[in-house]
Amino acid sequence: MSLPGEAVRRTPHAGRAQEDPGRPGRGQEEPGRLDRAQVDPGRLDRAQVDLRDAFRAAMARVCTPVCVATTLDRGRPHGTTVSAFTSLSMSPPMVLMALDRGSDLLALIRRTGRLGLNILAGGQSDLALCFARKGADKFADAEWSAESGAARLAGAAAWVGCAVSDLIDGGDHVIVLGTVLRAEAADAAPLTYHARTFGTHCPNADCLNAACACSRGV
Ligand SMILES: Cc1cc2nc3c(=O)[nH]c(=O)nc-3n(C[C@H](O)[C@H](O)[C@H](O)COP(=O)(O)O)c2cc1C
CA 133–ligand 1 middle distance (angstroms): 8
What span, in angstroms and rounded, lies between the C-alpha atoms of 123 and 145? 20
Per-residue confidence (pLDDT) for residue 164, from 0 to 100: 98
pLDDT for the residue 39: 55
The pLDDT, as a whole number, for residue 17 is 30
The pLDDT score that the predictor gives to residue 9 is 37
CB atoms within 10 A of CB 20: 14
d(CA 64, CA 155): 19
Q: Where are the domains of the chain?
A: 20-59, 64-216
pLDDT at 131: 98
What is the rounded distance in angstroms from the CA atom of residue 123 to the CA atom of residue 127? 9
For residue 75, the model assigns a pLDDT of 95
120 lines ligand 1 (CB under 6 A): no
Instruction: Name the architecture of domain 64-216.
Output: Roll (2.30)
Mode of pairing for the β-strands spanning 85-90 and 9-10: unpaired
Query: Is the C-beta atom of 125 inside 6 A of ligand 1?
Result: no
The protein residue with its alpha carbon nearest to ligand 1, atom 18, reads: 132
Phi and psi torsions of 127, nearest 5°: -65, -40
**Cα of 198 to ligand 1 centre, how many Å?**
14
The residue whose CA is least distant from atom 13 of ligand 1 is 82
Res 207: pLDDT: 79
Residue 67 Cβ inside 6 Å of ligand 1? The answer reads no
Q: What is the mean pLDDT of each run of 10 residues along the chain (218 residues)?
A: 33 32 34 49 83 95 97 97 98 98 98 98 98 97 97 98 98 98 97 96 80 54
What is the DSSP annotation of 166-181?
EEEEETTEEEEEEEEE
